[in-house]
Amino acid sequence: MTSAILPTYARTDFAFERGDGAWLTTTDGERYLDFGGGIAVSCLGHSHPRLVKALTEQAAKLWHTSNLYRIPEGERLAERLADLTFADLTFFTNSGAEALECSIKMARKYHSANGHPERYRIITFQGAFHGRTLATIAAGGNQKYLDGFGPEMPGFDHIAFGDSDLLKATIGPETAAILIEPIQGEGGIRPVPHQALREMRALCDAHGLLLILDEVQCGVGRSGKLFAHEWAGITPDIMAIAKGIGGGFPLGACLATAEAAKGMTAGTHGSTYGGNPLAMACGNAVLDEVATPEFLAHVQKTALVLKQRLAELKDRHGGLIEEIRGTGLMLGLKMLVPNTELVNAARAEHLLTVGAGDNVVRLVPPLTIGDSEITEMFERLDRACARVEASQAAARPSAAE
Ligand SMILES: *Cc1c(COP(=O)(O)O)cnc(C)c1O
């Protein structure tokens, strides 16, 4: 497989031509059940009629004007996000990493505007993933992503996940904010205990820090609430979202309270494409579907059924699966064998999943799946586990030898 594309991805050697709901069809006409959802992006599945209509109608009218002018659909989307969340203000981006960049700049600017430019450091957590820009690889602190790219951008203190004494000890006179994913995605579907999030909120309040949540992966209905922090009963000061909000169209956003955003005045930040009419049409259409009590109740109910089936799978294949973890339709199988073995075996059964850190197989399907997709998923994953077991048995020397 050679191509003129920069070889930064380890791609599987096939391509999809079309999609319909939770199903994808390859260029060879083979159908796959998509429990990867384009890495937790395709929240309404593929070719959702409302999204297709919103995008094509907008495409026939106007694609792009730049942020030199008002964009009414963007004002409407920001207004709706403000009504639905803690936030007063939204900045639109084209990706998750850019939403984090805006969040990081905003937190630093807030303290600078308060007369404390020395408060620029942000506390982040091991196993975190915040994107691939120079600032967000520094925020994530994963050495694999930092190696060879020159001096690491200063200003981040990485600490162990789940150590509240260490967190308290790390807060200093230069600390500006705490940045955390309420459910770590790339790190291996690791939910932050609700009590720990509440403690962070209290610590931020006590020390004048901003709480920044990265809900790029766990937001927009994926957890069964519109945003995952709602489960803990807290609100952040700043939140980065992306993935699901565009339903497959590149769209991200940085949401904030008016107080946290007070330094972000005219000219302090920008993006040529950010919030363009095509993206705004898609974002509004996604919210039309996802931000209803019925839709979120469906996600919670589906998640319960899926989790029960996965527990059954673990019982049937206890030698492969150590643990089922996650919230809503953001679930992970912590594996006892290399996670890639199950990802590959599932693909051989025409089921798409995604690997994650901590040796986890991620299931992040469209939020629109129902019982029939879950049954199909179970049967395919069950056969995939049997494949892995068979290959293990073949590799093991027999007791008689
Ligand atoms: C995917 C992801 C990002 C980065 O988003 P991009 O759109 O790839 O830049 C940041 N944070 C989290 C939690 C993510 O899952």
Contact 21, 46 (CB under 8 A): yes
Confidence class of residue 401 from pLDDT cuts 50, 70 and 90? very low
**CB of 244 sitting under 6 A from ligand 1:** no
Sheet architecture: strand order including 175-180: 89-93, 252-256, 238-241, 210-214, 175-180, 121-125, 156-159
Confidence class of residue 309 from pLDDT cuts 50, 70 and 90? very high
Taking only the tens place, the pLDDT of each residue in 114-140 is 999 999 999 999 999 999 999 999 999
Ligand 1 midpoint to CA 53 (Å): 27
**CB of 242 sitting under 6 A from ligand 1:** yes
Ligand 1 midpoint to CA 47 (Å): 23
| C-alpha of 181 from chain center | 9
CA distance 77 to 282: 10
The answer on pLDDT for 262 being more than 60 is yes
Model pLDDT, residue 1: 61
Taking only the tens place, the pLDDT of each residue in 141-158 is 999 999 999 999 999 999
Taking only the tens place, the pLDDT of each residue in 2-48 is 799 999 999 998 899 999 999 999 999 999 999 999 999 999 999 99
CA distance 25 to 378: 20
% of the chain exceeding 90 in pLDDT: 96
Give the pTM: 0.97
For residues 91-97, average pLDDT: 98
- In the numeric block, which tokens belong to residue 305? 């059924």
**CB of 95 sitting under 6 A from ligand 1:** yes
Atom of ligand 1 nearest to the CA of 186: 15
The answer on pLDDT for 314 being more than 80 is yes
Ligand 1 midpoint to CA 340 (Å): 21
Which residues make Cβ contacts (< 8 Å) with residue 380, sequence separation at least 6?
A: 33, 346, 349, 350, 351
Helix axes 339-348, 371-395, angle to 10 degrees: 120
- In the numeric block, which tokens belong to residue 377? 């998923």
Taking only the tens place, the pLDDT of each residue in 333-345 is 999 999 999 999 9
Taking only the tens place, the pLDDT of each residue in 199-226 is 999 999 999 999 999 999 999 999 999 9
**CB of 183 sitting under 6 A from ligand 1:** no
Ligand 1 midpoint to CA 216 (Å): 6
**CB of 184 sitting under 6 A from ligand 1:** no
Ligand 1 midpoint to CA 243 (Å): 7
The answer on pLDDT for 389 being more than 70 is yes
Model pLDDT, residue 399: 55
Ligand 1 midpoint to CA 387 (Å): 32
Residue 25 β-bridge partners: 18, 31
For residues 45-59, average pLDDT: 98
Tell which residue, 283, 58, 40, 399, has the closest CA to residue 185.
40
Write down the mean pLDDT value for the chain: 97
Ligand 1 midpoint to CA 194 (Å): 22
Ligand 1 midpoint to CA 397 (Å): 43
Which residues make Cβ contacts (< 8 Å) with residue 359, sequence separation at least 6?
A: 188, 334, 335, 338, 339
**CB of 214 sitting under 6 A from ligand 1:** yes
- In the numeric block, which tokens belong to residue 187? 């790190």
Model pLDDT, residue 398: 67
Model pLDDT, residue 334: 98
Pocket probe mutation, ligand 1, options 129, 180, 215, 227, max atoms within 8 Å of Cβ: 129
For residues 238-255, average pLDDT: 98
Residue 128 β-bridge partners: none
**CB of 125 sitting under 6 A from ligand 1:** no
**CB of 96 sitting under 6 A from ligand 1:** yes
% of the chain exceeding 70 in pLDDT: 99
Model pLDDT, residue 396: 81
